[in-house]
Amino acid sequence: MQNKREQLLHISQQLVSLGLNRGTAGNVSVRADSAEGQAGFLITPSGLAVDKMASSDMVWMDFSGNATGVHPPSSEWRFHRDILQQKSQVNAVIHTHSIYASTFSTFRKDMPPFHYMIALAGGDSIRCAPYALFGSQQLSDNAIEALKDRKACLLANHGMIAVGETLEKALDITQEVETLCEQYLLALQVGEPYILSQQEMMDVLEKFKTYGAWSEASNGARAERR
């Protein structure tokens, strides 16, 4: 489990260095069984800035919501738990308050397929979950609904969630969604961008099954934008 604690710290540091989180904003989790073999996950602590964080500060939780650690778990532990519990193929969850995703989330709209890379989130849109108080079960329920058949979603007036088979894959998706939010906001300053058709997006989704880092057999390397 120590290795996963270090991985969690490393990803948290990367999120800050990439400008995707600042201060105490955002949180990260990774699936990890206890030393006794009990199913659960590690999550970043509540209210602790990344530059003050050590691997030993990561909090272990079981799926009943019991926590073990020096600090309390992130206030958003409920949606981390629920995502990991309900999505067996997901092993890592990243939540950010990144600038462009947070800004676009204030419109409370799904992001349409203005760019084919929308497909990286698993469908023909990136959904925006309805607003709910941070840390609440309602927010978790809303996020779970928005993540149906998806690898990322926005949280209204809040930020984004990205999930993956590994922390690295979840980070890749986080970066791509932030870029898409930036591009869409820039496009809206000019006017209404053209939206790809359902068939065009179906073609992209089919091609992504065998395309580079987004393929079903990928090893987590980040895809180039083409």
Helix, strand, coil tally for the chain in percent (to 5): 40, 15, 45
Alpha-carbon span 30 to 35, nearest angstrom: 15
Which H/E stretch holds residue 146? Answer: helix 137-146
Amino acid (one-letter) located at 120:
L
Instruction: Kindly provide the b/e burial profile for residues 99-111, where b requires at least 16 CB atoms within 10 angstroms of the residue's own CB.
Output: bbbbebbeeeebb
Query: Is there a contact between 77 and 43 (Cβ–Cβ < 8 Å)?
Result: yes
Measured CA to CA in angstroms, residue 127 lies from 14, 151, 156, 168, 170 at distances of 25, 10, 10, 22, 17
Supply 106's token pair: 């204030």
Measured CA to CA in angstroms, residue 33 lies from 4, 80, 122 at distances of 10, 15, 27
Q: What is the DSSP secondary structure assignment for residue 107, as one 8-state letter?
A: T
Catalytic residue positions, numbered: 76
